[in-house]
Amino acid sequence: MQGEPLAPDDLAAIAGETILIEESEPSVRKSLPHSEALPIVLSLLCNLFLTALDQTIVATALPTIGVQFHDVSNLSWVITAYLLSSTAVAPVYGSLSDIYGRRAMIIAANVLFLVGSVLCAMAPSLLMLILARGLQGLGGGGILPLVQTLIADVVTPRDRGRYQGYISMVWVTAGIGGPVLGGVFAQHLHWSMIFWINLPIGIGSLMLVLPRLRKIPDCHRHRKLDWSGGLLLMLSAVVFLLALTWGGHKFAWLSPTILGMVGSAVVLMVAFVVRARTTEEPFLPLPLISGPVVPYAMVAGGSAMGTMIAMIVHLPIYYEAVYRLSASEAGIALIPLVAVSVLGAWSAGQFMAVTGRYKWVAFGGALVAACCLALMAVLAAGPLWLLLSLLAVLALGIGTCFPISVVSIQNAVPRAQVGTATGAMNFFRSLMSSFAVAVFTAILLAAIGQDIPIGEGAAGGHNIPSSDMINGFRFVFLAAAFLMAMSATLFALMEERPLAGGKPSPAATMAE
């Protein structure tokens, strides 16, 4: 369609009041009453459930998809394409939401995600499915940072941790329900249903979200978007993730291809830093991710997230090889790790809301998680009940890191840059998760001396002697303990700033 491009005011005013704010204004505003904030948050979580479900529902349908398209060797790209695109665009949505407003960007993210879902469901070949998954990731990659940013717009930093616990509950529900639904659809209906189901969920969540977002002003600031800087950052992330994905599998870690890709990623990142330091309006202002709060919280939270994701990926192999569990039983055995982390996040949020203090809770939780992982390394050959008990305590500790890393970052940056900082945080979390998965896999392969089809079910785990797997996982658990010890150290070094918002209202506390 021809015509003049929409101005920032036009985009941000799509659905409600627009307020222009200055760069220097702090990220403090009067929050909505809990009775008004809770419906908004719940409607946002329905939107978040859309992308959370999609990340788990696809995996169990992959074998069926491979059979239909007569191509198993390229199946991993169905997951990788989504991971690459969603990781790359997370900081883009954060910056755009600060410029054009949250409502305009959450509409754009949902539309891209739903269009990608329809194309996935109708894909006539595996190549078209992979391309459609990339488009779907361009939308899905913006939903999480936008939801977190909108929650920051609705409630004060002091109350924000309470709502971060709700976000964790959404991920647990999707993490448990997604694989089950994916298996049912693939076995009894058709694999395309895992994408068609996104339409009613997506449209319904938008119908819930958009009317409620009219209750809050859409604050943004005029500035030019540094597309060159954004492109450099996205390219460096994609090349780095591809190197992590192919390293140790398609190519040897020290092969010229992987070394060249890592070198290219470093060069692109250096170019991004130079661009950010020399341009007037950088894509990601370097001062925003510096100082005594943001870099500490970002790396600490990314280390915790990387540990969590890498453990979820690798533990099923351990269960199958050492305890001879079936694939479904191994999935059930992950519930203590996934579900109890919600209790940790909720507890940290409650403590934050009541006391206004936060960093030492995350330090204690990360330290407890590190100790549990060290014990798991020592007691790797112990009974299953002991391992599950340690996992539950580990999850309780690691869960405290997620809401506190988010809230501390959002509390430390100017209000006009909350979206940018939140997008950057999610971008770094995704990179750390991919890095942790690759490193843990490399450690395990080096320790046991043979290849393992990670994530391919019982056949991969049962073919390896349990003694070899126990020895290999001792090093994996120690690597995870190191990551969590680093997270605890960074939380301890991080500056704790007063949380804006005062004490929570009695009504809010009672409602909880």
Whether the pLDDT of residue 343 is over 80: the answer is: yes
Widest Cα–Cα separation across the chain: 69
Q: Cα angle at 282 between 87 and 90, to 5 degrees?
A: 15
Q: How confident is the model at residue 267 (pLDDT cuts 50, 70, 90)?
A: very high
Q: How confident is the model at residue 319 (pLDDT cuts 50, 70, 90)?
A: confident
Q: Cα angle at 52 between 250 and 91, to 5 degrees?
A: 75
Tokens, residue 285: 């202002």
pLDDT of residue 119: 93
Q: How confident is the model at residue 65 (pLDDT cuts 50, 70, 90)?
A: confident
Whether the pLDDT of residue 508 is over 50: the answer is: no
pLDDT of residue 134: 87
Whether the pLDDT of residue 158 is over 80: the answer is: no
Q: How confident is the model at residue 234 (pLDDT cuts 50, 70, 90)?
A: confident
- Name the nearest CA neighbour of 53 among 131, 147, 161, 140: 140
Q: How confident is the model at residue 87 (pLDDT cuts 50, 70, 90)?
A: confident
pLDDT of residue 18: 42
Question: What single letter denotes the amino acid at residue 509?
Answer: T
Place of tokens 């453990």: 311
Residues 113-126: what's their mean pLDDT? 90
Whether the pLDDT of residue 7 is over 60: the answer is: no
Q: How confident is the model at residue 301 (pLDDT cuts 50, 70, 90)?
A: very high
Angstrom CA distances, 220 to 51, 98, 365, 423, stand at: 25, 5, 35, 15
Question: What single letter denotes the amino acid at residue 93?
Answer: Y
Residue 337, Cβ neighbours under 10 Å: how many?
21
Does 298 or 183 have the greater pLDDT score? 298
Contacts of residue 255, defined as CB under 8 A and 6 or more positions apart, other chains included, come to none
pLDDT of residue 22: 44
Does 363 or 68 have the greater pLDDT score? 363
Q: How confident is the model at residue 25 (pLDDT cuts 50, 70, 90)?
A: very low
Q: How confident is the model at residue 373 (pLDDT cuts 50, 70, 90)?
A: very high
Residues 48-71: what's their mean pLDDT? 76
Segment among 175-179, 283-287, 344-348 with least mean pLDDT:
175-179
Residue count (the chain): 512
What is the percent of the chain where pLDDT is above 90? 15
State the chain's mean pLDDT as an integer.
78
Tell me the pLDDT tens digit for each residue of 418-455: 777 887 888 888 888 888 888 888 888 777 765 555 44
Whether the pLDDT of residue 257 is over 80: the answer is: yes
pLDDT of residue 69: 82
